[in-house]
Chains A and B, each alone.
Chain A
Amino acid sequence: MARMKFLCDADRCIECNACVTACKNEHEVPWGINRRRVVTINDGKPGERSVSMACMHCTDAPCAAVCPVNCFYTTADGVVLHSKDLCIGCGYCFYACPFGAPQYPKVGNFGSRGKMDKCTYCAGGPEADGSKEEYEKYGANRLAEGKLPLCAEMCSTKSLLAGDGEIIAQIYKERVMKRGYGSGAWGWKTAYRESIES
């Protein structure tokens, strides 16, 4: 089985935010929730870099480890998903996540959190693949249709790569070899305990 990962080639990202828009549209993500975002570091200064970030689907995921009700599970493809039926909206996964991936719709008073929402790697949730219930809770299940996450698929500069970890790492290494530089796979050390050195 493949081990699905995301890789953002920061030397290619032009901060067009197409990945953010594609994600919101594909999954009809409600207002106030962003499963993916583009962060620009040193904006307007020399050495500025933009990185597209969402749930990295970590190895030994911290969110799953700290969840009080154990609502997370990892699919055979290495995608970290969760059940909104089990989630109680406590916010613990948000404290543990290094990438700020978990999001909570604000429901009721006192800033109380609703069921957590995050990037599903376009792989839906525990409901039947492609079912209406799955779409309403988690959004589209492109992986079940044999497609990759839409954010990476429609990245205009092919900065954001999605797919089997070894294959996208290979693609990135070849790029770095050819152009002679690369700022590394952002977040890989934290998410997968490995880094791609050029």
Chain B
Amino acid sequence: MSSFGRVIRLAIGAWALLLLITAAPAPSLAQQINPTASSVNERQLLQEADRIQGRVSIPDQRSSVLMQPAGREWREFRNVVLRWIGGVAIVGMMAVLVIFYLTRGMVRLESGRSGRTIVRFDTFERFVHWMTATCFIILAISGLNITFGRPVLLPLIGFEAFSEWSQWAKYAHNYLSFPFTIGVVVIFLMWIGGNIPNKVDVAWIRRGGGIVGHDHPPAYRFNAGQKMIYWIVVIGGGLVAVTGYQLMFPFYVTGIEGMQLAQIVHSVVAVLFVATMIAHIYIGTIGMEGAFEAMGSGEVDVNWAREHHSLWLDQQMARTGPGGSQTQPANAAAE
């Protein structure tokens, strides 16, 4: 038995020795293992990409974005940059127009009224113009409310009234975007023919056009200034429509970063658009005698057409003959 016991003791000793030898590096290895050594790290992930995304087990896969600090830059844009751009563009445009009106006044019809008129815009053209214009004004006011309402209007009317108004403004903004977009598309197709820039426009701009300069450079149906308005409406309107629908249908096209970008494009184009349209409204109303009639009754005085759109008048006269224009009874021409 004692020899058997010695064998056992020897075997255990040998096994223990073997264990000790093989296991010797083990404790030092354990000290080196850091369970978080390979783990993902917030700071590192944010350095690699501008957001941290993972996997979620809930059905809403959009919630798999864990963190997205880019909202900070967007916040800076929305609260500071945009208010400066919009404020300078819109208030600046108004100030320029007031100064211009005070120094220059209404651009008069130099040759007076002839009493004869010529059709400038037909009923369909005027309908499209006014549909788009009405939508634009409501969209502009409700849009400016989102940017400037909180600092300007909210302190005046209080939280409840301002929220109520803003809620309706939001509905109006969303729903009127559809007729506005249709209007922009129709305007694009309807007037593209007369709005391709050409050599006449260069001369027109050099001579300061009909409102800045003091003479009447020749122009076809649309002069260079009107062509600019046309392209601003088509391109600007297209941009606000595309970006606006991205915001209205969240996640259909882009995620949050796309919507931040869409809001930036939408708002910058929109405030510049509003500033341009203020100038457009000025020239179409108090800025120029006889101009409103083109979109009002659709018929302009022949003398107005000769002064502002001489080449167009020649074209029309050549097409219909000098009798093409309508002689109006004196009382109707006075308006």
Residues of A near any B CB (own CB < 8 A): 10-11, 15, 17, 20, 32, 34, 37-43, 46-51, 53, 62, 65-71, 85-92, 94-100, 104, 110-113, 180-184, 186-187, 189-190
Contact = CB atoms under 8 A, between A and B. Distances in A.
B285 interface: no
Given A110-B248, A181-B34, A96 B42 contact: no
24 contacts: A17-B58, A34-B58, A37-B63, A38-B56, A47-B39, A49-B39, A66-B74, A66-B75, A68-B150, A69-B159, A69-B166, A71-B159, A86-B163, A91-B259, A92-B263, A94-B256, A95-B260, A98-B67, A98-B71, A104-B250, A110-B248, A112-B174, A181-B35, A184-B42
Given A37-B63, A49-B39, A187-B67, A69 B249 contact: no
Q: Is the interface of B mostly helix, strand, loop or mixed?
A: helix
Contacts of B252: 111
A65 B75 contact: yes
A42 B48 CA distance: 14
Contacts of B170: 88-90
Contacts of B249: 110-111
A20 B311 CA distance: 72
Interface string B39-59: 111110100000011111110
B66 interface: yes
A90 B216 CA distance: 48
Contacts of A91: 247, 250, 259
A41 B66 contact: yes
A112 to B, nearest CB: 6
A49 B53 CA distance: 12
Given A46-B38, A62-B75, A40 B256 contact: no
B55 A43 contact: yes
A96 B154 contact: no
A69 B150 contact: yes
A107 to B, nearest CB: 11
Nearest to B59: A32
Which 3 pairs from chain A and chain B are nearest by CB?
Answer: A47-B38, A41-B54, A39-B54
B75 to A, nearest CB: 5
B78 A92 contact: yes
A95 B66 contact: no
A197 B252 CA distance: 40
Contacts of B52: 39, 41
Contact of B58 (A20, A62, A187): A20
Contacts of B66: 39, 41, 51, 53, 99-100, 186
Chain A CB within 10 Å, residue with most, of B42, B68, B160: B42
Given A39-B53, A95-B71, A95-B260, 7 more contacts: A11-B35, A66-B75, A69-B154, A90-B146, A111-B248, A184-B43, A186-B67
A100 B248 contact: no
B285 to A, nearest CB: 31
Contacts of A186: 42, 66-67
A98 B69 contact: yes
B55 A98 contact: no
Given A110-B174, A184-B43, A187-B67, A98 B72 contact: yes
Chain B CB within 10 Å, residue with most, of A11, A70, A100, A181: A100
Contacts of B259: 91, 95
Contacts of B53: 39, 41
B315 interface: no
B76 to A, nearest CB: 9
Contacts of A110: 174, 248-249
A183 B42 contact: yes
Given A96-B78, A183-B42, A39 B55 contact: yes
A173 to B, nearest CB: 15
B36 interface: yes
A100 B68 contact: yes
A183 B64 contact: no
B42 A86 contact: no
B123 interface: no
B332 to A, nearest CB: 46
A95 B150 contact: no
Contact of B71 (A37, A42, A70, A96): A96
A100 B40 contact: no
A63 to B, nearest CB: 9
A190 B40 CA distance: 17
B149 interface: yes
Chain B CB within 10 Å, residue with most, of A15, A65, A69, A71: A69
A95 B67 contact: no
Nearest to A94: B256
Nearest to B261: A95
Interface string B291-310: 00000000000000000000
